[in-house]
Amino acid sequence: MATIAHDDSDAVVIIGSGAGGGTLAHELTRRGIRVVLLEAGTRQSLQSFSQNPGEAFGQLTWLDPRTTSGTHTVLQDYPTLPSWTAMTVGGTTVHWTAVALRVQASETRARTVYGAVDGASLIDWPVDYKELEHYYDLAEKRMVVTRTHGNPGLPASAHFKVMYHGARRIGYKRVHTGHLAINSQPADGRGMCIQQGFCVQGCKTGAKWSTLYTEIPKAEATGHLDLRSGCRATRIEHGADGRANAVVYRDKDGVEQRQKARIVCVACNSIETARLLLLSDSAKFPHGLANSTDQVGRNYTRHTAGFIWGAFEKPVHFWRGTTLAGIVEDEIPHNPKRGFAGGYHLELAALDLPSLPLAGFPSTLWGRDFGYMMDHYDRLAGMLINGEDMPMATNRVTLSSTVRDRFGLPVGHLHLDEHPNDAAMRAHAQRQGRAIYDAVGALRTAVSRQTPAAHNMGTARMSLRPEDGVVNGHGRAHDVPNLFVSDGSALSTAGSANPTLTIVALALRQADFIAKEMSARNL
């Protein structure tokens, strides 16, 4: 672990230690580049992860308030939590369910393949898919993803059996235990999955890949990483030349500090990434850093999501076993005959008893219908829809005009309306999900509406043209040559895949680019 001086202007400063920031920190430090890694959260460990679901949630989650507007049902069903993001060393890779999927080639050409969709701000990715595939390979190997590169799949749980046979009976062909960054056998110095079912509380065996105990300790071992946890970035500063040159932050005692920087990489998860850029306004950038085209915070996407539950006559015990070890891939391809653009995955999903009532059902479902499902808790099966969400320029992160955080800074404000394409996709997926359960004898099924987004994307997206996004194909800001976005904010469109694998692949690619440009003295 290095100690880098505050006035050392040769350091790369990365803000956020999750999938993007943590991976980038490792990739740069292993090349001998000195990195200051700022993380707002505290550092947990396999030992300190709580096994009480509510407590674990509090331990890992970004709990500062956010304000909201818009008509989306998620705002009614989850008023205090429209988005579920992490604040801890390792970021969302601590609470993720480790679903490691590739964005499809056609999804990276969404505007071309889907055509114009009314009200949607689709673009094509300014990234060559062949090149992306190379980095996907590297990411899958590094994260030890099941069913890739010779890694075995996870064994089928009782819960997956229900999904599997239901899906096969209605004709689906691509149904398996998933591509998960979870060790099905010991690998990378970490143990194998013991089917605890407590994936989102922090994996106490470390079988699940997280930057907390993979990339970050490896970066620390290089001697070039200065990790500062409990440090909240509040502003990125720039010089007269328009280049970023420092990051202002509050340290763990709340004292303001200023770290000079040669390069700044922002990886705070979409809402906070956009908020930090908007907070960094100046005479040169009066509407926020890298926001000359008014794109920062726009095109906020999640995935079209929602739970489908089946109640059965006999026990399933769906909490026993890896939370999301099951997938149906048949609905991924774009097929306009279904009545919507883009595609979706159906993913196995279980919730612990205290979380299911509030997280799993819409606020309008209460009384006997709700009680019936809960009474079948040990006989439930569940799945989660994960589908492409249409970007809309008006679905947007701005600064709240009413609520400030403990440092006196406006919190993020989220405006969210639902695009009709998302509603049509969800309805289709709910029908298919119910059919899966009906095919294996469900007594009754129930669905949620949109669930809080754990996948937050697009608010600083990659675009060919500055008027369509914030950064270029390497995640470099169109406006600021030494400012990079290194998290899901940069994804040009949402695709149907859980975003982490893509974030890691892009971080690996970005590290190559930054290192090359640094040695050429271009950065």
Which residues contact other proteins (rule: CB under 8 A)? Answer: 50-58, 61, 63, 65, 80-81, 146-147, 152-158, 160-162, 164-165, 175-177, 184-185, 192-198, 201, 204-205, 314-317, 319-321, 352-354, 356-358, 363-364, 366-368, 370-371, 374-375, 377-378, 440
Helices (H), 386-499: 420-439
If the CB atoms of residues 325 and 511 are measured against other proteins, the closer one turns out to be 325
Strand order in the sheet with 410-415: 67-69, 410-415, 396-404
With the C-alpha atoms ordered 439, 441, 443, 448, is the resulting torsion angle positive or negative? negative
If the CB atoms of residues 193 and 276 are measured against other proteins, the closer one turns out to be 193
> If DSSP states are collapsed to H, E and C, what string results for 359-413?
HHCCCCCCCHHHHHHHHCHHHEEEEEEEECCCCCCCCEEEEEEEEECCCCCEEEE
Helix axes 129-143, 500-519, angle to 10 degrees: 110
Give least dist CB 196 to other proteins, A: 4
Give least dist CB 220 to other proteins, A: 26
Interatomic CA distance for residues 229 and 94, integer angstroms: 15
Q: Is 120 helix (H, G, I), strand (E, B) or coil?
A: coil
If the CB atoms of residues 176 and 287 are measured against other proteins, the closer one turns out to be 176
Give least dist CB 278 to other proteins, A: 22
If the CB atoms of residues 135 and 164 are measured against other proteins, the closer one turns out to be 164
Give least dist CB 84 to other proteins, A: 10
Q: How far is CA 308 from CA 101, 163, 179, 355, 496, in A?
A: 21, 11, 21, 15, 17
Give least dist CB 72 to other proteins, A: 16
Give least dist CB 413 to other proteins, A: 15
Interatomic CA distance for residues 298 and 371, integer angstroms: 40
If the CB atoms of residues 315 and 420 are measured against other proteins, the closer one turns out to be 315
If the CB atoms of residues 3 and 47 are measured against other proteins, the closer one turns out to be 47
Helices (H), 67-128: 73-77, 92-95, 110-114
26 neighbors 51 (Cβ within 8 angstroms):
no
If the CB atoms of residues 126 and 362 are measured against other proteins, the closer one turns out to be 362
Give least dist CB 81 to other proteins, A: 7
Interatomic CA distance for residues 234 and 116, integer angstroms: 38
Q: Which two tokens stand for residue 65?
A: 């308030």
If the CB atoms of residues 351 and 429 are measured against other proteins, the closer one turns out to be 351
If the CB atoms of residues 363 and 394 are measured against other proteins, the closer one turns out to be 363
Burial class (CB in 10 A: 0-12, 13-18, 19+), 118: exposed
Burial 361-400 (b: 16+ CB within 10 A, else e): bbeebeeeeeeebeebbebbbbbbbbbbbbbbeebbbbbb
Q: Is 184 helix (H, G, I), strand (E, B) or coil?
A: coil
